[in-house]
Amino acid sequence: MHIERRKFIGAGFMLAASGAMAGNASSAPTCLSDRQRTIRGKTYVAACPPVKASIPRTPGPQRVMVIGAHPDDADITCGCTAAKLIAKGARVKFVAVCNGDIGHHKLSRKETAATRRQETLNAAKVWGLDSYDIYGYGDAHVPNDFEARELVARKIQEFEPDIVITHRDCDYHVDHRTVGTLVKDCGYMLGCPHWIEGSKALRRRPLIILMRDDFTVPRIMRPDILIDCDPYIEKWCDALDCQVSQFYEWLPWDKGCEDEVAAIGDRTKNIAARNAYLKKYWAAKKLRDAARFADAWREQYPGKPLPKMLEAYEISEYGRPPIEEDFDLLMG
Ligand SMILES: [Zn+2]
């Protein structure tokens, strides 16, 4: 019997069969469990069954649903990925499970939620999204219960995404962790017809991939999929610019960098200064990830120069296993 071992490569790791470890890279692993699939040399554990050729995907463009906690999470963390996928013809939907109502220091919660709703609509036009949906839980009030899980599941089942992107469940914010957990807990159940009466059980469950974070416990994220941000970073700035209450008011106040916003002057004229500010504060993680995941980049894109900025994702074990179509869409 083969024994699975973890093999570390650069910042990430892959599970490798003992045959490959012994130098016999061409021998396929033969003792995978029914929850393991090997693709592109890596073995992934998956809660959901693999895609069957006998169950075709819904016709039309590939669909990607980014389920964030707040009405800027998808933009900040996955915006360049969304821009790339939309440019390739995919349909992309952004979701904020919470309404963002504590994201301001002067506006009331009601005013903040209403302002942010309008700002996401403006951003959706810049991105070219199918829609930017806000489910309406108050910030830091989203529960990990059946009602919230049912809501998230129904929305996923309605859109029938090929890929869902969400938070890791060890991210910094309670809402991020809860939303990541909600999506994870929906994973297998999305295909069960009697779980939620009247819902549309999915024969092809989505691949779930997880946004980047810096946490080290229980372990650092695994950079399974890296996206070059450089061609899309100016569009990313244009979309963030729509969320005035966040990037020019609340977040600078929270960070204590309001003077840098004031120094931009008229941001509709001083685009270079505006973009430099947005990148300095809100793209710093993309810059850092290009350095920390450089080895993984060279592995995934042999011969391609390392971009200045990256968006990084880990393949979740709670969706279906990845297929070539997923890699072609995200990395092609
Ligand atoms: Zn957030």
- Cα 100 to middle of ligand 1, angstroms: 8
Give the burial class of 251: count Cβ atoms within 10 A of its Cβ; 0-12 exposed, 13-18 middle, 19 or more buried: buried
- Cα 78 to middle of ligand 1, angstroms: 12
- 32 pLDDT band, cuts 50/70/90, is low
107, 211: one domain: yes
Does residue 269 form part of some domain?
no
State the amino acid at position 15 in one-letter form: L
Q: What tens digit of pLDDT does each residue of 258-284 get?
A: 999 999 999 999 999 999 999 999 999
Does residue 306 form part of some domain?
yes
Least Cα distance to 239 among 73, 65, 68, 64 occurs for: 73
pLDDT value of residue 31: 53
Least Cα distance to 76 among 264, 218, 289, 296 occurs for: 289
Q: What tens digit of pLDDT does each residue of 246-262 get?
A: 999 999 999 999 999 99
- Cα 329 to middle of ligand 1, angstroms: 26
Number of domains in the chain: 2
Local structure of residue 304 (DSSP, 8 states): P
- 35 pLDDT band, cuts 50/70/90, is confident
Which residues fall inside 5 Å of ion ligand 1, going by CB?
69-70, 73
38, 69: one domain: no
40, 156: one domain: no
- Cα 72 to middle of ligand 1, angstroms: 7
Does residue 55 form part of some domain?
no
Q: What are the residues facing 94 on neighbouring strands? A: 66, 132
- Cα 244 to middle of ligand 1, angstroms: 16
Mean predicted confidence (pLDDT) in 309-313: 98
- Cα 86 to middle of ligand 1, angstroms: 23
Q: Give the CATH number for residue 76.
A: 3.40.50.10320
Q: What tens digit of pLDDT does each residue of 166-193 get?
A: 999 998 999 999 999 999 999 999 999 9
Does residue 279 form part of some domain?
no
215, 316: one domain: yes
Does residue 16 form part of some domain?
yes
List the structure tokens of 185: 């807990």
pLDDT value of residue 231: 98
- Cα 37 to middle of ligand 1, angstroms: 32
- Cα 103 to middle of ligand 1, angstroms: 10
Residues 6+ apart with CB under 8 A from 230: 307, 308, 309
Residue 29 has pLDDT above 80, yes or no: no
**CA 215 and chain centroid, separation:** 16
List the structure tokens of 70: 């707040």
CA-to-CA distance for 48 and 204, rounded, in angstroms? 9
CA-to-CA distance for 13 and 194, rounded, in angstroms? 37
CA-to-CA distance for 27 and 21, rounded, in angstroms? 10
- 4 pLDDT band, cuts 50/70/90, is very low
CA-to-CA distance for 97 and 155, rounded, in angstroms? 11
84, 123: one domain: yes
Q: In this structure, are residues 251 and 118 in contact, taking their beta carbons and an 8 Å threshold? A: no
- Cα 302 to middle of ligand 1, angstroms: 33
- Cα 85 to middle of ligand 1, angstroms: 22
Residue 2 has pLDDT above 50, yes or no: no
The answer to whether the Cα torsion of 163, 165, 170, 176 is positive or negative is negative
Does residue 126 form part of some domain?
yes
CA-to-CA distance for 76 and 331, rounded, in angstroms? 19
141, 179: one domain: yes
- Cα 246 to middle of ligand 1, angstroms: 11
- Cα 165 to middle of ligand 1, angstroms: 14
Residue 6 has pLDDT above 70, yes or no: no
The per-residue pLDDT of the chain, averaged, comes to: 91
77, 222: one domain: yes
DSSP string, 75-119: HHHHHHHHHHHHHTT-EEEEEEEE--TT--SSS-HHHHHHHHHHH
- Cα 232 to middle of ligand 1, angstroms: 21
Does residue 105 form part of some domain?
yes
Does residue 261 form part of some domain?
no
- Cα 66 to middle of ligand 1, angstroms: 13
Most confident of 3-7, 40-44, 196-200, 229-233: 229-233
- Cα 266 to middle of ligand 1, angstroms: 27
- Cα 69 to middle of ligand 1, angstroms: 5
CA-to-CA distance for 248 and 262, rounded, in angstroms? 9
222, 90: one domain: yes
CA-to-CA distance for 66 and 163, rounded, in angstroms? 8
User: How much of the chain, in percent, has pLDDT values that exceed 90?
Assistant: 84
- 21 pLDDT band, cuts 50/70/90, is very low
225, 300: one domain: yes
225, 122: one domain: yes
Question: Which residue range is the domain that position 159 belongs to?
Answer: 63-230+287-331
* Range of lowest pLDDT (96-100, 187-191, 197-201, 303-307): 197-201
Classify each residue of 267-293 as buried b or exposed e, where b means 16 or more C-beta atoms within 10 Å of its C-beta: beeeeeebbebbbebbbebbeebbebb
Q: What tens digit of pLDDT does each residue of 196-211 get?
A: 989 999 999 999 999 9
141, 198: one domain: yes
List the structure tokens of 102: 């504590």
116, 35: one domain: no
